[in-house]
Amino acid sequence: MYEKPLPIIDPDSAPYWSATQQHKLVIPRCLDCGKHHFYPRALCPHCHSDKLEWTEISGRGTVYSYIVANRPAGPAFKADIPYVVAVIDLAEGPRMMSNIVIDDPSKVKIGDAVQVCFEDVTPEITLPKFKLV
Amino acid sequence: MSKRKAVIVGVADAPLKDGMIPGGASPLAVQARCAKDALAEAGLTLKDVDGLLVAGMWGNPGPGMLPTVTLSEYLGIRPRFSDGTNIGGSAFELHVGHAALAIEQGLCDVALITYGSTQKSEKSRNLAGRPAVLTMQYETPWGMPTPVGGYALAARRHMHEYGTTPEQLASVAVATRKWAQLNPAATMRAPLTVEDVLKSTAIADPLHLLDCCLVTDGGGAIVMTNEERARDLKAKPVHILGFGEGQTHWTIAAMPDLARLTAAEEAGKRAFAMAGVKHKDIDVAEFYDSFTITALLTLEALGFCERGEGGAFFASGRTAPGGDFPLNTNGGGLSCLHPGMYGIFLLIEAVRQLRGECGDRQVKDAKIALCHGTGGTLSSGATCILAKD
Ligand SMILES: [Zn+2]
């Protein structure tokens, strides 16, 4: 049984999480200023337009920063230590927090290229994670 | 409209033993006792209080959701001005600013700011992350240790951009411990070396256990009134020259620049502009030091050194006792106390320094002090510049 915290899906986030279930990364793009944003909002945080469309993105990015957790964020993560939590600069612009899936965390560096992968953690929830490419 | 200048006329904090309130107390009782002590210092009583400003983490969900209402009831007062704004540990610097505005406008005559926490006694500190609702659904599922993880992301990025080293970060904790050794009320007073910090577990690499603040109980109160009323009181007033606030993000992925504390840059600029003083005029500084990186980013953001120079600044010992930039003179959140929201203790220490009450750790001729609080995960900042009478 999966014991780690799961996202509590709400109407704003439902399209995002339903896309990850299909192993797709789909985030809002603004039809007025053209910029993507993440996490999904009702208004574009760049120009405040409400003309938004859900857009599939490449899943490519680079490591903006990361930590190696040697103490877990609660008991459910204990078996995973050491694990990597990173902020990824997505190729399309926004930043996203995720894990970098890797056996040896010492191999990760800022600026490394990464590609999304998907982990089906429950029948309802699929988490996007990243691997070095 | 009459412009009546606000001043601080009383401060108090709860005595701790081994980081805990001796004999135990609820967070409400802690605040009530501190309020009474701070008012007594000024020569006032709770009957004089007509403004109440409160921020805390107690009683949530529950009575803590309406903290000023709950505390008014508990204290048996009916404030005509209240502010329960919570922007994290920096809330109290913001409260001093907001209380000053209210006093100047005549919305209240005696403002009381309080804080209380019994997190250590209750063993309620938890690193398991925040409930994965709303914006946190994009953070909590990945096992980010909170709050240290966000600060470690900033430390890593600062190291990458500027070559800041773990040794330099450790020197923040070492300098702060030296101040704590001069403060009998500080929780951690044993000698500390850079090697000690680097040998401690890298709980969220690159940050070590000893890069992190303490986990203690704590309580504090601040009493403010107008200059005219202060003339009749027994305490020497401390003047508020300027204040400013700023906020940028809550989820760490939305921080504009991990290597740059934008909230402090904005708050600091506003406070300096209002105060009309220069950096060289600051005799003593109190910065929020939830982690070593917090103090380093604050030093750079407030403009006391260039961006990227903070590591060398701390490693040179300038912030330690005897240095030319006395910082966190009570021993800070790293060595004195950290009950979850530390910002009120920055102000209490600054007021005591300006009144010349600090014994072995007293900064000679301290006339102007700067306090800067940081809240959330490098999310918010508020600055107060204070002056002795
Ligand atoms: Zn837009």
pLDDT, tens digit, 9 for 90 and up, residues A53-95:
999 999 999 999 999 999 999 999 999 999 999 999 999 999 9
The pLDDT of residue B130 is: 78
Per-residue pLDDT, averaged over B47-61, amounts to 96
Contact A83 B138 (CB under 8 A): no
Domains of chain B: 6-125+214-387 (3.40.47.10)
Q: By CA distance, what is B249's nearest residue in A?
A: A45
The pLDDT of residue B235 is: 87
Residue B229 pLDDT > 50: yes
The pTM for the full model equals: 0.97
Per-residue pLDDT, averaged over B283-295, amounts to 98
The pLDDT of residue B172 is: 98
Per-residue pLDDT, averaged over A12-33, amounts to 98
Q: Which of B134, B203, B253 sits opposite A96 (nearest CB)?
A: B253
Average pLDDT, chain B: 96
Per-residue pLDDT, averaged over B249-277, amounts to 98
pLDDT confidence bin for B2, thresholds 50/70/90: very low
Rounded distance from Cα B250 to ligand 1 centre (Å)? 21
Flag whether the ipTM exceeds 0.90. yes
Average pLDDT, chain A: 97
| Residue boundaries of the structural domains of chain A | 14-132
Q: Which of B138, B143, B156 sits opposite A110 (nearest CB)?
A: B156
Interface test mutation site (partner B, options A18, A36, A87, A110, max chain B beta carbons within 10 A): A87
Helix H or strand E segment including A99: strand A95-100
B127 interface with A at CB cutoff 8 Å:
yes
Render the burial of B175-199: b for 16+ CB within 10 Å, e for the rest.
bbbbbbbbbeebbbbeebebebbbe
Contact A97 B139 (CB under 8 A): yes
Residue B1 pLDDT > 60: no
Q: Which of B137, B143, B258 sits opposite A65 (nearest CB)?
A: B258
Contact A97 B202 (CB under 8 A): no
Burial class (CB in 10 A: 0-12, 13-18, 19+), B173: buried
Per-residue pLDDT, averaged over B134-140, amounts to 96
CA distance A46 to chain B (A): 12
- CA nearest neighbour of A103 among A86, A84, A124, A85: A84
Alpha helical stretches, state H, B231-342: 262-275, 292-301, 310-315
Residue B174 pLDDT > 70: yes
